[in-house]
Amino acid sequence: MRVVIQRVTKSSVTVDGTVVGQCGRGLNLLLGVRVGDTVAEAEWLANKIANLRIFEDDEGKMNRSLLDIEGSALVISQFTLYGDARKGRRPAFTDAESPDKATRLVDTFVDFLRATGVPVETGIFGAMMQVEIHNDGPVTILLEREPETR
């Protein structure tokens, strides 16, 4: 699994003109699922993200986690994170998991993140979404967890 973590002051996702998910201070998470990913990757990423110290303390150092600041998260599925554009002019998505399996793993990731105590909202899997992101910093981190069998 691969996730683009963006520290935000606020973020929202809109489908067909309706806001379907939003968060305040916290993280906008663009989540991609790769062929072969499992529940283990979802759990590891959720725990890592909830505890990742990327929010500033009173001295301006990134020393606080999403849990520490009592922030929230907006999770948006993004199969294009596994687009391979090294050859040709159109990305290939052969590494992206099939929609049925990816949907289950995205939902599992969200459940694990909520279990840490983080309030989580989501986009709609497979929908055409417009995402409004108010980056804070900006702080953007790419985090990936591959299955142990690779």
- Catalytic site residues? 78-80
- The pair of structure tokens assigned to 126 is 């497979």
The DSSP secondary structure of 12-27, one letter per residue, reads EEEETTEEEEEESSEE
Say which residue the tokens 């309706």 belong to: 18
Give whole-number Cα distances, 125 to 17, 32, 149, in Å: 16, 11, 27
d(CA 22, CA 98): 26
Query: Do 109 and 46 meet the contact criterion of CB atoms below 8 Å apart?
Result: yes
CA dist 104 and 106 (Å) reads: 6
